[in-house]
Structure formats: structure tokens, C-alpha cells
Structure 1
């Protein structure tokens, strides 16, 4: 038989409850199945405990019923024995009474006839023959007394009926006479204090009442002799009166203590007397109750312990499920993070076997994880012609001797193509602190290397062009006077020193107000005060002619301020030899000199126009206050208080103008980065005040928000102000060039504290505009050097901003804001790490 048929037959043979339960069980989730699996044993234990309790209760009740039946049976056996004895005695007494009536028994021989009767019946203590007048005719008493007691058998008055007496013998005598039947009396105490009862047989002679034959029973002897011994050995049998007092019992009780009532009782009347005497059988429970049953408590304790263990196991399982869910969530998060990484990750054990690759690594190489995991060298992604080199690098990697800067290698894809990659190696440490392998991160640097090669080639072409120029090109740092660049013509004429640059720029002081580059700089006097760096770098070149006496040459010198690659403010000079042209233009020298002066004045006016516009308001206010005071003084219409108030307002306006100039001078004064403890709100205030000139000129509003009490920063505040100012000016230019309506001509500047696992505690600066946004191709090349979307832009502003932020260990990014698919603005943001402690300040300053 095939295995499938054999497996299908038991499945088909299942009953419908099993199939229904199976379908229901398969529909449950794993969590519900675990919960039901946990609760099942708990319910089983509880059901087991309930079954044990029910069994104990049933057995106890069954045993109790058996004991009740035994007591009832023994009581009824005793009743039957007493009943038979009383009936037998009654028949003998009736026969004896008949003999007395028929004169078969005379007074003289009464004792002889009754002695054998009394001798065989120890329960009868007295036998009396009384007449109709209640007189004693004859009697036979079996009670014996000691001679010294002085009591005789005739001294039994308590047993005799007495006229007008309410005693039991009298009441029984009357009932027998009236009923003409044998009558039993109730129990009473005889003359000796013994509890007895009488049976009286009435004597009738020719329908005339002639007296009665009285037999007196001892209650104690009746119980002693006629309750079976096997019954008395099992249960206590007692005779009770109407009031429930025990008259006789098979169990002796201490004197003066009431008889103890048994747990099981059964009462029957004493037949055929029916004189109020009750025969009671008493039994005591031999079964142990549930509360005192040791076995029950052992089972209960074991059940409680099992329930407690099951509850503990269930709680432990819930905790494990929670931990498992947390582990699964953490694993999924880490897997999602690893899968979303663009960097390829590869893990190897200590023997060089690949144990893990992430999707990025597979995407780079084209091999699947099944093709790579478990592979030993040579790996499938090694180029065939570089196996030996890669094996050497792998051995170096396994020995932990890989350089910290990574290794540049060639990697082969599955389709055979080769690409350049940089690999970084770090050890894998398990929770016990032992190394289990190596983790390799791989980045595709083909594009970066191509760009680097292009930049190198571009730099070489740029240098070749500059070296081939007949003009002298030189770049000198404004503050330090250091020669940053000089081409072949400059080195041929002036050597590799900055003196020639200073000589060529010596005439600039008359036009720009700047001291010759390279001379000693007095920090107390700022020759560039009032001129912002951005305005200097945006200004066009100033062409002038300089005569160098040592060379006897005239040079056409063009100067331009720019920010060097390290952020310093520098001056570039392009000096073209115009000696021959100078001699040819000697006739027009005077007019050229005038044109040069005019050009310098225009250039100075362009640079100072924004400052003059900003100073116009406070200076106008000062003029108005002064004119007003002069007029009122001439008319004697001003008192001292008004004069002081007007002078104070004038002083405030003058102070405001001075603050504007001071801020502009402070902004352009320093170019060497100097990190210090700074606060975000101070940086924002200075930057916004400097940017306000450009914003007001372009009719753009700005809204700022700085979080209260942000942590301090360890930065160069001037450089950070330059970044904020650059972003604000770019946003204003984007809004103005887009000719947006007034409602959208606004910029938002927000400064908020942030925390992330990657960067830690940072301060985030966010500049948001509502302009047209940036194109995707512009976003991709936004920070490339010399790339600009402006017609007259140099393309170094954002690149310089990125360099400044990254030098402060921060990050800068730009994103578009969308309404659906339509861009409605752009958001630039950068983060700066906060100062965590005083000890971090030196480290930050040297970073």
C-alpha cells in the first residue's frame, strides 16, 4: 500500500468532532494556541482536584449511609428482641391471670406457681396480685436485700395502685379496669429508686372486675439481658422516656454526667408497651471528614502546587513570548536596517568562511546569498586575474592587520564586469567578549573614483591653463599674508614669495580701503570693517595698472576677494604685462587715471550700498531729532525734560547705527577659525540682523523660533553665522527670482534640540522657504564644487557651508516640500553637536 494512502486512511477515519476541533485549532493564531496549551493542563489539574473532592465526598456520604443503616438495623433488632420478650411474658401473664380467676391459683400457692415464671425472667422484679379494692392479695418479689437493711419484699408501696393517686400504677390500674385489656404503665421509680414500668392484666370474674395481676419490669435488666451482645458491641442502645431522658443504656456513663448523644441516632417505640418508652440506637461516625482527611490534604496540596507551577510556567511562557516578540521585532528592525543600507556587509568566521551577506552586498556583486554563504576562498566575486592578491589581502584581514582607512580592491560581478570598491574590516565580538569572526563593509567607489579622477584631471587642466598664461596669477590669504597659489609667470617675475603679490596690490588701498596684503595687520584697526565677506566675494574684479620699478614693467592688475578651500578669505590677483600698451596710451594717461578713480568709486559704492541703505533710517532719525530740537530751542518752546528725551532718542539711533557697523566689522574681521563656547540664540540674532539688509531689499519676511535654553555649542560663531547667512540669502534670492506673491515671500528659521542614536545630542538649524524648490538633478549636485544655478554664481557657497558644518562634526541636508507632486518650497537644515562637558572643549577646538 502506498504511504499516502496509508496516511490518508487514518485521517478519513477521524470522527466529525475530531475534524471540527482540528479545523478550529488550525484557525487559531500561534499566541492563542500557546495560551490554550498553557490553560489546558491548568484546567485538567482543577478538574482532577474537583474529581478527588467529589470522590471523597461521595465515599464519605456512602459510608455515613452505611453506618446509619447499621444503627437502624441494630436498633430494630433490639426492638424485635424486646418486643418478642414482652409479648411472650404478656401471654404467660394472661394465662396466669386466667388461672387465678378460675381458682387454679390460690393465695397460698401464688408464690409457688410464680417462682418458676419469675426465675426464668430476670427482667421482672416484682409480681403482685391485687384485688378490686387495690389491696395486696399476694406477691412475689425477686429483689433481695441484706438482712441489716430492714427492708422486706412487702415494703413496695410505690408499686401498688392507690386510690386518688396520680402515680403510674394507679393510672395504669384505672386504664386496665376500663379497657379490660392488658395495659402498660409509664416508667417510674419504685420504692428502691429503680426505674421500672408495669404491665397490668385485669382480672374479671363473670364480667365483674376482680383485681389485676401486676408484673413489674426493670428497665435496666430489660436492656441488659435482651439487647443482643453483638448489637451492644457495635452500638449503644438506650431506653428513653417521653422527655428524652435515658433510663437505661448498654453503655455506662460517668455518674453525674449526661449521656452523650451520638452522631448517628435511630429511635423506635418500645412495642408492644406503647407507654412512651423509646428505644434509641446510637452510633458514632468512623469515617474521617474531608477537613481531617490527610490524603485529601495531600492531594489538595499537590494540586495547588501543580496549579502554582502551571501558573508560573504560563507566566514564564508569557515572558518568553514577550521576549521572543521583542527579539523578533529587534531582529526585523535590524534586518530592515541592514537591507536598507547601501553599504555591502559580509561576515566571515575565523577560518575565512562566509557566514552572512546583506542584500546590498548581493546587489553589488550580483550573486545571491545562497551562492556566497558557506564559500571558502577563492570567492566567486574575486577577479580571476587577482586571486593571489586577494588571497594575500584576505590573510592580512584574518590576521587583523587591515589598515584603518580600508582597502581598495577590484570586485567582479556575476556577469563578469569589474568595479572598484573600498572594504573596511572590523572584528565580530560575541556577548562573551570573544571574537567569532570578521565583519567586512564594502562600498562601491567606482563613481567616486571617477569623479575624483575627473577632478584631478580638471585640476591638472586648470593648472596647465594657468601655467600657460602670460599673466601672473597669485592668491594670498588676506589675514596671514600666505601665498596660496602662484603660476609660472608669477614665479618667473616675482619668485615663490608673497612680496610680488603685495607689490601688485599696493595701490588697492586707495580704492578699497584695504591695507596691502602681506603687511603687518593691526588688530585694533580693521581696514575691512563694515564690509561683509559675502559682499566682498560677490563683488567684481577691479582692474588697475601698477608699475613695478624693479622690473620696469607696467601690469594690468585685476583683484578679487574669494574664500579659499579651507574657508579663509583670500585675494586673487591677475597681473597682465601691459608695458607696451602703457607706452602707447601715454597720451590718454590723465583721462585713464580719472576713469580709474571713477571706477574705484563706483566699486566702493556697490560694496557700501547695502550698508548705506541700512544706515539710512537711524541717520535720518538722528537728523530729524536734531532739526526738531534746533527749531524748538530757537523758539524757546522746549524744556529740559523734552530736550533730554530727544537727546536720548538721538543717542539710541546713533547707537543703533554703530551696532550695525560693529556687527558688519565683526563679521568680516576674522578669517581664522577659532572655536569657542557659543549659544544658538546669539548666532541666530547676529545672522538675522546681517541678513535683514538683503531680506528687506528683496521684500522677504523672516520668522525665527529658537528653543528656550538650548545647550551650548563649541563652534566658531562667525563661521556658523556665515552658513546661516548664506542659507537665508539663497532662500531670499530664490523667492525674489520666482516673483512670488507677498503671502509666500517669507522664510522660517527654527532652532531645535535633537537627539539620535547616530549623532547623539545636537542642535538643528532649519531654514524653510516657500519658493519654487529645487530640481532633482540640482539636489543631486547641490554640494559639488563650482556648481551653481545662478548665472553669476561661483558654485562654492554651499560647498563651503558643507565643509564648515562637517568640520564641526555636523551634517547638512536639503529637501523639497511638496503639496502632492508640486514643490511648494525648500528646506535646508544642518546639525551641530552640543557641548557635553567642560572636558570636551579642548577636543572640539582641535577637531
Structure 2
């Protein structure tokens, strides 16, 4: 079926729109994936930032706590060492235990140095500058301490050392008293790097950077930095204040991101994986939809094709469930019984097409079938009733209806309307009767023809002898000779007896009784029909090839009947080769006579086994089909428009009456061989 000119552009537009929708959906999913990854990354970064800020605050709290714990230690130092001489040893011990302190001093209320002790870990602390250079910071811290009546810290300052090195230091001044009377100040010099090294949690700082900085970001003291590999990543920073009495320090902590690349953390990776899985599912869904559409189109085409076949069938189809209810009928069945499909679907037993008087019989038959005893697949005949009440014969062929799971769900029936077949059979039966009557008439005609032919000579002879006898009796001039009259009457008797034998011979042939036969040479049988065969072969441009084996014995037969058989078979062979088929060189009819190798094998006492002579007629025609071979010797069966179908049947009857057999077989590459046997005399 040709498509319209607008069909192709319309399909292209629909296809482009479908791809546009899929592209928009893909872009939407990719955008959603990007947004999810971005939000997940921001969330993870914010969470890491919060953790870092909390840890920075914890470090600052730890440093502050340790500094105030040191204040308590320093207060106990002054109580156990009331004099300058006794103070040095405990101070040295305290410096050895606290590496963050680089110097301890005991100054008077006027800031005069009473005693001091340097840390044993820094030998060159005062090697570059005199300690008096830091006295302003000490006085500031002590003034704040006197005002606060407690410890006070000075701002940090850089203290250079020998070798170009230096430290960021900070002074802590603590007022001391004895018996309620002020007794000077205890000054502790802290190293900012020492505070970071000694007063922080090492496990918390693993892999992180920690430093004291100015508000503008300038580093004062560094504990650790982010590794070089981590520096190439995005680094998180958190700053917190270390609020001390008299001074506030800025503490900054750095930490690298834990996950790098496209998916910076597990949550983002999971979201990305889910998004990619969604894309894969969409791709699979699209492929499945395409396959489903193709399958639906194929199923629709198959359904339409099956529906067209069912609607074009002349055989009725009917499906019934195990309970006997009709689940499907085709239009042919509906037309057959005169009901619509809507009237038949769902009907049970008794069926509306059953004749009322046969309902009990059909009910019993259905019960046997539903019980599992199914009828044979070659079918059975039944009688249905149309909606108008007319009856018609049908042939029902039923088979189990098996579903896709191999379970029988009912029965599928094919119903053939035998009305036309019965009508044709009746016509054939009537024709057969007429043909049989015609055959009887033909047999009577043949008998009459034989009788007229055979009786012609004896009757003519009888008439001739009777005329001569009358002439002798009517001659009054002289007395009739007695001897001539006796001879004439004898000849009349002989011819009458011969006429009787002819009548008896024809009657015996018709009644299939044994006839009187005589020894006849095979050559004489062929010579008798050769003139007739030559005339017909010349008309049809067919060469007749005769092959007679030498020294053949005579056969015992009825000469006239056997000659007629040979003539009939030869004429049939010529008629099997119409003009031009086969070509002229192959248009040959072969007649052969030879001694048959077949012997009866049964002998009577005193007699030898019977021998046979075989006659063969071979043509080069198209041969015989299987249907023709099955009916070849059937009376009144013929393939000729003008034939009666009695020739081969009578030929076989004649040969069988002689005790022989008439057979046929194909002659490769084309043609047919007819052969018959006659007993040797």
C-alpha cells in the first residue's frame, strides 16, 4: 500500500520531536546532576568548615586552660621558695617541665630583678639583645596585673637570637604577696611557638596547620602547615581569638579538603552515582520503549494478519473453555449457524445450534470429552441447526487448547459444512448409477456387435444352403438327387451349430466363463494388428518399433480377444504422445515380446511348471499421475473427453480370464510401460 506524500515528512517531524524531547530530558537530568553535585559539595564544605572552627575553638580553649593552670603552678612556686636563694632551684625544675616557658623572673614592686632562671632548652636566648630591651613589655604586663589583681599578659614581640634566628615572645606578670603584703611580681616569658607545641592536642592537629597571626593575617608563630600535596587542594581556614587578660591573640587553623576531584566527598559521589544510574535507567527505558513500540507494531501486524486469515476462512473456528462455554468464534462459524459473535460468546451447554431432539446425545458426548476422553483428531460428523431452524451436516475436528504455560484451557474446534459435499456426493452417486446403466447398455451393445459380426457368416451360409435346397426341390423336370439334399441339410446343420457356438462364446465372455482357446504364435498376433497400427501411427507421425524375441513358443489364447487387447494398448500409447510432445526423434511406440522369466512354481503331478510369454507396450508420453494410477482400471474412469472408460477394464478382464496379469510402471525418463503375460501353449 502506497504512503501519501505527507506521511514521510510527518514521520520525520514526529521523530525529530521525539529526539528533541529526549534531548531536553537528558539536559534536565544533567543540570539536576550538576546542581546536586554543587549543593552536596557546598554542604560538605560547610560541614568541614564547621568542624574546623569547632576544633580551632577547642585548641584555643586548651591553650587558655593550660596557661591558667600554669598560673597556679607559679603561685605554688613562690610559696615553696620564699627567698631568692631558694627560688632558683624550683624555678629551674619548673622550666624543665614546661617547655613553653623560656624565662622565669622574680622582680620587686619597682621592677628590680631579684632572681631569674632561663630555660635549659634555649642557651642563646639573651646572646643577641639585653633582657632590658623587653622591660617595657614586662612593666605593661605588671601594671595590668596590679590593676587586675591577677595575672596579665603583654602583647607579643619578636626577640632576635644569635644566628639570625628569633622567637615571638609574650610576657605574663603575676603579682605575689606574703602574709598579705605585696612581695613583687613573678614574670614568666612564654614562647608563642612553645604554646602551640606544648599546650595543644597533637592528634587533633595531625595533617592540619596551626599558627598565631595578626588580625591582618601576618603569622607570628607557626606550629605546622598543610602538606605540599594538600596545598594544591582547596584548603579550609578557621580563625579564633585567644582572649587572655591584658592581651588577645589570633589563632588560625588550616585543613585540606578530605576528598578531591569531581566528587569531593562520599555524599557527592553517592549523588553522582544515583544521577548516573538515573541516566542509565532513562537510556534503558528509552530502549525498552523503542523495543516495546516495535513489538507492539509487530503484534498489531500479526493480530491484523491473523484476523484477516480468520475472516477469510470458510472453515468455522470455535474455542471453548473446560466448562464448555464458548470463548471465541470466527465469522465463518457465525455465518454457518446464523448467529452473531455477541450472541455466541459466553454461551454454555446446551449450545444454541444443537437440534432439540439431539440435545441429550450431544450432552453425553460433551461430558465424555470434558472428562478427559477426547475424541480422535480425524474428526467426527454431526448435525447442526441454523437460527432459522434448518439442519445441515458438519464435520468437527477438535484438539486441546494449550496456553503458553503448557496448561490445557479448553478445546479448539474446526467445523466444516458438509452440505455442499453431501450434494456433490448425491450427484456423483446418481451419475454413478447412470454410468453403470450406460455400462450395461454398452455391454449389451458390445454383445450385440459381437453377435452380429460372428453370426453374419453362419447365417449367410445357412441362407445360401437353404436357397440351394429350395431350388433343387422346385425343379420339377427331374427328381432331386438325394445325396445333394443330404449334403445341403448337413451344411445347414453345421452352420447352425457354429452360430450356436458363437452365441455361447460371447455369452461366456460376458459372463466371464472359460472360453475355448487355441495355440497362437506371438508373431501372428503382432502381424494381425500391424496394418491398423501403421495407419494410425502415420497419421500421428509416430514410429512403431517392434521387437520379437526369436524362437518364442505359441501362447494359448483367444486370438480375437488378445488382438483387441494389443490394439487397445497400442492406441492408448499413441494417444499419450500428442502432436509435438515429445519432439519428433523421441516419438516412438515400442512393442516387444519375449519369454518371461516368471514361472508359477506350482506344478500338477505329471506336468511341468507353467511358462509365460510377456507382451510389452511402451510409450514416451508424460506418464501417469498418482491419482490416475489409483483409478486406471476402474470402470468408466477415463482421461479422454470422448472416452467411455471401459477399454483398460475390459483388457484386464480378458487377460485375467486367460490366467495372466496386466500391469503398468513408469518408463524413465518419461513414458509408461504396459505389460501382460499369456501362458505358453
Relative contact order, CA 8 A, sep 6+: which one is greater? 2
Larger Rg: 2
TM-score for both structures, normalised by structure 1: 0.35
TM-score for both structures, normalised by structure 2: 0.42
